[in-house]
Structure 1
Amino acid sequence: MTISTSAPNGWLPLEDALHNALSHVQPVVEAEAVMVGDALHRVVSEDVVACVNVPPADNSAMDGFALYASDSQSALPLQVVDTQLAGMPLREVKLEKGQAVRIMTGALVPNGADCVVMQENTTRTDTDVVINKPAMPGENIRRAGGDIATGATVITAGTQLTASHLVLLASMGIASVQVFRKLRVGIIATGDELKTAGETLASGQIYESNRTGTRALLAAEPVEITDFGIVADDKTALSEVFTNAAHTQDLVVSSGGVSVGDADFVKELVASQGDIGFWKIAIKPGKPFAFGRLGNAVFCGVPGNPVSAFVTTQQLVLPIIKRMVGAASEQVIKPLTIKATLTTSLRRRAGRKEFVRAHMQKNAYGDYDVVPLAKQSSGVMTTVTQANCYIILPAECSEIPEGNSVTIQPFSLLETQ
């Protein structure tokens, strides 16, 4: 799987790294039936075809009166002969000219009626109704199959189900849906200096946080996570964990140990049990990212620094997972990017695409301004929590003056304050 690059330093541009990684992973093929209520975020394995019309019959879109549209052209009162509520069966008797039926939203349209006049456009007496505004045939009537027709493909294979998809499925009376099985993902952290939250730190030790971050970033994906815990910088111990993960997982995400330190054994062990496709990508933060295979599992090695691990999981691991869970190619994660005006100048060393933590907000004209945060170290996670977007700087860029337009990647689609 060795992937070559023409870059003199051997670092792959992010776009090339992602393209190559996606071309070397395969989606799961096993499928299962799950209840619609449990199918959020799952990926459908086959087209979903409507087995009923939605709505199943002509019904009223308004509270009002069902009648002949031609009768609405006259100021003569119409005899109100019945009331039709939602859920009631239809009268067998056909509506006659000069008659109207009081009707509620969602109720079946009486036989013969070809429009519904909203009650605000009528004047009602005890037995009659006067139409104050003429109506057109079909007005305020939701036709049978107007939303979904029997036999129509409503969800295509490879779609990752959202809340709106579940509502759609339920509206057709579908109780279960065929989806690809969940992806088995193993997460590992390596390093003698790492301790689990709640434990007491000795001199030189730090709390491990990357497994928590990975689990949180993957929460909206159809995955089953196995946490292999913290593994010391010991070849034998790490090899045993890797061997176990290689035989039980579809994807292994390991943090730390992929740099060039004397105790960084991850790259060496992965190469011995599988192979490394590429190592080091031209982004900041996150250069020491490794991709390859660990036995039968796909392997992603993210850096140990928390921000670097966070960024590479967002930009590389998540798209890889999207492909592996069976999401259609066009659905592979493409984060939203927009333009914003830089409110302070930026200077940096060119050479790597950079994700600068920043804060965006709307200005008085309804456009977005963005200001980079002062601290950009890959170990300073507080700047990620203080930021609400990344400024994306191209690799060749070394300086951007204040007032220029830049590309930003918002953390959320919600309105930013």
Structure 2
Amino acid sequence: MTISNDTAGPGCSPAPNPLPVDAARALIRRAIVPVATVERVALRAALERVLAEDIVSPIDVPAHDNAAMDGYAFDGTALSAAAATGTGTAQLTLAVAGEARAGHPFARACGAGECVRIMTGAPMPADCDTVVPQEFVVRSGSNVTFEPLRIERGANCRRAGEDLARGQAALVAGRILGPADLGLLASLGVAEVAVRRRVRVAFFSTGDELRSVGEPLAAGCVYDSNRYTLYAMLTRMNVEVLDLGVVRDEPDAIEAALRTAAASADVVLTSGGVSVGDADFTARMTATFGDVEFWQLAMRPGRPLAFGRLWPAGRGVGCESALFFGLPGNPVAVMVSFYQFVREALVAISGAIAPTPLQFAAASRVPIKKRPGRTEFLRAVAMRDTAGQWSVTPTRSQSSGVLSSMSEANCLIALAHDQGDVAAGALVDILPFEGLA
């Protein structure tokens, strides 16, 4: 089986010089202006928000020297003394002076020849710097005995400030806060944090043939799937979402929807209406109150993709505007275009430090036909064999209208602009949809 990704959608007449994908990404990056508004939120409301300022630790973490395991704390000089007297292979006996537990420290200093029974996390008693694990000792009454050579001075003791020192930057601005970050902030006693306002995204679909879920399906009509995939992808990015529904293929209706969207959002997404078909009004309407940087790409799927800026109330310094992505109408092309362009743009607009996308090489299990001159993305299933080697197989259909192939796939095969045919067994770059086990 040889896979070809050369299935064009209806109405997709080629532009004379479609823009290469890398050039399109560069244009988008230059147009990005991060949101500037900062708000303070409670710690539990900060998950997946973008940190607006560095967090400097107000305390040492841990706040005091503490035991890393259950055992007996003592002054490690006893080990050196045993070695100096030639008794390093003999038994070292210490008197148990008391006990220390988390939240209940030993009340006095530990004297020479003494030790303190200590539990994990308990503060180290004064004059103690070493913990011998409980399984290394033999206890007899109020004494414990162990071999000095089994332990090194300073062992099993966590030092104050070992994790974070007072005044050290704990988290830097631009970080997307995850569960571990919230725990770290809680360990510092931070109750609320400054975060950037969430990016606002408005979107709608265009097409007289589209029906929303729940409506009767007339002859020649289809249910609108694009708004549901877009809603899901946007929700995962923790942006504010405004769904404007399905808009008719009429200039006045599309213009009104675009102006409403641009006046209320940072980014406007549409699906459909950006190719050159007779009923495709969106690309033409943006020219009346927007700037379109490009509208066709050297890419498959997703060739008809418009990008620019909308000015709902007029152009000029200080005037409000919104970035515009006119995505294709085919469902797969919508998702691929979102993953390749919109997601990166939304991260940048949010003010976040962009994470490095996961990408690695895998052996193609089948030959793939590819002509140089465009970037191609194939839906595929990647798997790892018992030897730990990755291979990848394109899904059976590469038509941009077959959404089930995206459900079947767990990655995209990315074939570069200048790349040609791929032989079976050759390495290709894959972009996982999720972390692959």
Give the TM bin, normalised by the shorter chain: over 0.9
Partner of 2:138: 123
1: CA distance, partners of 2:141 / 2:243: 72
Q: Does 1:351 align with 2:373?
A: yes
Q: Does 1:97 align with 2:112?
A: yes
Q: Does 1:29 align with 2:36?
A: yes
Partner of 1:382: 404
SS in 2 for 1:219: helix
Higher relative contact order (CA 8 A, sep 6+): 2
Give the conservation status (yes or no) of the 8 Å contact 1:285–1:354.
yes
Residue 334 of structure 1, CA deviation: 4.1
Give the conservation status (yes or no) of the 8 Å contact 2:105–2:124.
no
Residue 396 of structure 1, CA deviation: 2.7
Deviations, residues 243-301 of structure 1 (Å, cap 9, x unaligned): 11121111111111111111111111111111111111111111111111111111111
Q: Does 1:178 align with 2:194?
A: yes
Aligned counterparts, 1:5-84, within 5 A: 9-72=16-79, 73=82, 75-84=91-100
Deviations, residues 289-341 of structure 1 (Å, cap 9, x unaligned): 1111111111111111000000001110011101111113xx2x542111111
2: CA distance, partners of 1:87 / 1:61: 15
Partner of 1:4: none
Alignment partner for residue 271 of structure 2, among 217, 240, 255? Answer: 255
Residue 88 of structure 1, CA deviation: 1.1
Deviations, residues 106-158 of structure 1 (Å, cap 9, x unaligned): 00000111201111111112211112344322211111101001111111111
State the AA in 2 paired with 1:376: Q
State the AA in 2 paired with 1:289: L
Give the conservation status (yes or no) of the 8 Å contact 2:98–2:106.
no
Residue 68 of structure 1, CA deviation: 1.6
Q: Does 1:310 align with 2:335?
A: yes
Partner of 1:301: 326
Partner of 1:322: 347
Deviations, residues 200-254 of structure 1 (Å, cap 9, x unaligned): 1001100111111112112232411111111010111111111111211111111
Residue 10 of structure 1, CA deviation: 2.2
Give the conservation status (yes or no) of the 8 Å contact 1:50–1:152.
yes
In the superposition, relative to structure 1, how do residues 334 and 279 fare at CA in structure 2: closer, same or farther (>3 Å)?
A: farther
**Which stretch has the larger CA shift, 334-343 or 60-69?**
334-343
Give the conservation status (yes or no) of the 8 Å contact 2:295–2:304.
yes
In the superposition, relative to structure 1, how do residues 239 and 24 fare at CA in structure 2: closer, same or farther (>3 Å)?
A: same
Residue 9 of structure 1, CA deviation: 3.0
Structure 2: runs of 5+ lacking an equivalent: 1-13, 83-89, 312-320
SS in 2 for 1:356: strand
Q: Does 1:291 align with 2:307?
A: yes
2: CA distance, partners of 1:123 / 1:218: 60
SS in 1 for 2:362: strand
Residue 387 of structure 1, CA deviation: 1.1
State the AA in 1 paired with 2:399: S
Q: Does 1:239 align with 2:261?
A: no
Deviations, residues 379-412 of structure 1 (Å, cap 9, x unaligned): 0011111111111112233311111111111222
SS in 2 for 1:399: coil
Partner of 1:3: none
Q: Percent identity between the aligned chains?
A: 40
The normalised TM-score by structure 2 is 0.90
State the AA in 2 paired with 1:229: G
Q: Does 1:392 align with 2:431?
A: no
Residue 81 of structure 1, CA deviation: 1.2
In the superposition, relative to structure 1, how do residues 334 and 289 fare at CA in structure 2: closer, same or farther (>3 Å)?
A: farther
**Which stretch has the larger CA shift, 258-267 or 74-83?**
74-83
2: CA distance, partners of 1:274 / 1:193: 26
2: CA distance, partners of 1:289 / 1:69: 69
2: CA distance, partners of 1:236 / 1:251: 21
Q: Name the count of aligned residue pairs.
A: 405
In the superposition, relative to structure 1, how do residues 8 and 217 fare at CA in structure 2: closer, same or farther (>3 Å)?
A: closer
Give the conservation status (yes or no) of the 8 Å contact 2:262–2:322.
yes
Give the conservation status (yes or no) of the 8 Å contact 1:188–1:228.
yes
SS in 2 for 1:78: strand
1: CA distance, partners of 2:52 / 2:423: 49
The normalised TM-score by structure 1 is 0.94
State the AA in 1 paired with 2:132: V
Give the conservation status (yes or no) of the 8 Å contact 2:92–2:147.
no
Residue 365 of structure 1, CA deviation: 2.2
1: CA distance, partners of 2:15 / 2:395: 31
